[in-house]
Amino acid sequence: MNIILLGPPGAGKGTQARHLVDGRGMTQLSTGDMLREAKDSGTEMGQVVADVMAKGELVTDEIVIGLIREKLQGEKTAGFIFDGFPRTLAQADALGALLAEQGESLDAVIEMRVDDEALVERITARSTCGNCGEVYNDKTKPIPADGVCSNCGEKAEFKRRADDNAESLKQRLMEYYKKTSPLLGYYYAKGQLERVDGLGDISEVQSAIAGVLDATAS
């Protein structure tokens, strides 16, 4: 089963994708994570995208489609969770073509709905475990005082993303509404769009997504 988690920055796509990886053996394909890796490893492509990401703008379609193409040619798993991809109509078309080349298809597109105020609050308060990627929030789920991650049990370094600040968030939201939100209509018209409320507890959102996946599989 191949699915897209679609929603603005801070909707909880990464958190839910990790649960699906643990629970269903699916593979998370996050273009944001791939680009951050390229940036940290100092590759030529990483240097090109660093500036664009810091500003909260979108990296070119060509680069992200190339990253996804490489991953899809890898080992087959229980299915892919596209997290943060596609973000433009050109990327959505390319994904359809890449999946078809592999004899695969898209089974569901899940929109995670969260209102804008909640997004700003979530993002400016978020940090992640440098070891396993577990997401913390200064207000609702603070970093444990002993510095040991509650998910992986390791003493970890907790990181804040360079682009999780009010200024670049404004740009990221703008990019979402201008370039990514048309995908909702695109997938609705294809009969593939499902919606879940992304505002609830992590476990409530998890159950809603499980409901969609189970209904799609049956």
Binding site for ligand AMP (CB under 6 A): 9, 31-32, 35, 52-53, 56-59, 64, 84-85, 87, 91, 163, 172
The Cα 195–Cα 184 span in angstroms is 10
Cβ nearer to ligand AMP, comparing 59 with 193: 59
Task: Name beta bridge partners: 28.
Answer: 81
Task: Please name the residue that has the structure tokens 């596209």.
Answer: 82
Cβ nearer to ligand AMP, comparing 144 with 171: 171
Least Å distance, CB 74 to ligand AMP, is 18
Contact 72, 80 (CB under 8 A): yes
Cβ nearer to ligand AMP, comparing 28 with 206: 28
Q: Which of 160, 161, 179, 195 is catalytic?
A: 161
**The token pair that represents 174 in the structure block:** 């703008």
**The token pair that represents 97 in the structure block:** 């073509």
Cβ nearer to ligand AMP, comparing 36 with 194: 36
Least Å distance, CB 214 to ligand AMP, is 26
The Cα 53–Cα 55 span in angstroms is 5
Residues 6+ apart with CB under 8 A from 73: 102
Least Å distance, CB 3 to ligand AMP, is 15
Cβ nearer to ligand AMP, comparing 144 with 184: 184
Query: Catalytic: 161?
Result: yes
The Cα 53–Cα 10 span in angstroms is 15
Q: Which of 36, 39, 87, 122 is catalytic?
A: 87
Query: Catalytic: 172?
Result: yes
Query: Catalytic: 24?
Result: no
Q: Which of 13, 36, 39, 122 is catalytic?
A: 13
Run of H or E residues at 81: strand 80-83
Query: Catalytic: 18?
Result: no
Q: Which of 18, 36, 122, 172 is catalytic?
A: 172
Side-chain half-sphere CA neighbours of 141 within 13 A: 16
Query: Catalytic: 87?
Result: yes
By beta carbon distance, the residue nearest ligand AMP is 32
Peptide bond into 86 cis (omega under 30): yes
Q: Which residues are catalytic?
A: 13, 87, 126, 161, 172
